[in-house]
Each structure stands twice: as structure tokens, then as C-alpha cells.
Amino acid sequence: MAEITSSGYISIREHIVGNWKKVVLLTSDNIQVFSTNIGGTKASWTHTKSTEEKVVGYNDFGEPITEQVAVESNPNMEITVTVTGADVMGTVSKVRVLDTQNRIMTEETFSPFTFENSADELTLKVKIQVPQQ
């Protein structure tokens, strides 16, 4: 059986960041009460990335042109979601991450949190591990 290389794991992580696009919050009865896109004001990828120097082209003399680009080398990926009572009222206890086709990619249950007024705030850190074996 062939093994995935470190570049293969970077590619998998890049696919995740590029295609896991939505976070939803649910009640204990699995009723969706909030939804937001990752990359907006309520949810974003917050894990650290490394940088690598990559060839992006060649000059007129055939010499490589390079630049520093972000690389998904961190096996511990993280989405931070911050929601207030102005976004949702009631009690939430589950978070799901969906892909571009609204398929559930991951879900996690947490201690119920009740939004009673618009000033209440909940911050969740959804941690996804894609380790290199």
C-alpha cells in the first residue's frame, strides 16, 4: 500500500480550507438556528500556517521568480466561531462544519449555551486534526 507524502497531507489540508465553507449551530434536537460562511465576520480559519518559497514563474533570462506563499503544514487546523445573542436566541449545543455541497464534514456536541439577550457571546474553537502518519 502506498503512503501519503507530506505534500499529500498539505494538499488534503488545502482542500479542507478551500471546500469546508459553512458553520451551523444547532439545538439539542438538531434544529439549525444559525449559519455562517467561514471567512466572514463570524467564523474564520485561525490555525497558524507556515510559509515556503515557491517558484511562480521565470524572468526573461530563464531565472526562477519566487515568492513566499502560505502552506497548510499545520496538522492541527482550527475554525473560530463567535456568535452573539443578536445573531441567535435560545440554547445551542452542537456545531457542524459543512462543505460546499452542504454535506456534514464534522460535528461536535458541547455544553448547552443559552443566549438570553443580544449581549451574550459564545466563542467556539472547532479543532480538526489532519496529521501526517
**Over the stretch 81-101, which tens digit does the pLDDT of each residue have?**
999 999 999 999 999 999 999
Q: Please tell me the total count of domains within the chain.
A: 1
**Phi, psi dihedrals of residue 85, rounded to the nearest 5°:** -65, -20
**What cell was used for 61?**
533570462
The pLDDT tens digits for 31-64 are 999 999 999 999 999 999 989 898 999 999 999 9
Residue 131, pLDDT score: 85
Is residue 64 included in any domain, yes or no?
A: no
Distance CA 9, CA 111 (A): 32
- Residue 115's domain comprises 6-46+73-129
Is residue 40 included in any domain, yes or no?
A: yes
The structure's pTM equals: 0.86
Is residue 57 included in any domain, yes or no?
A: no
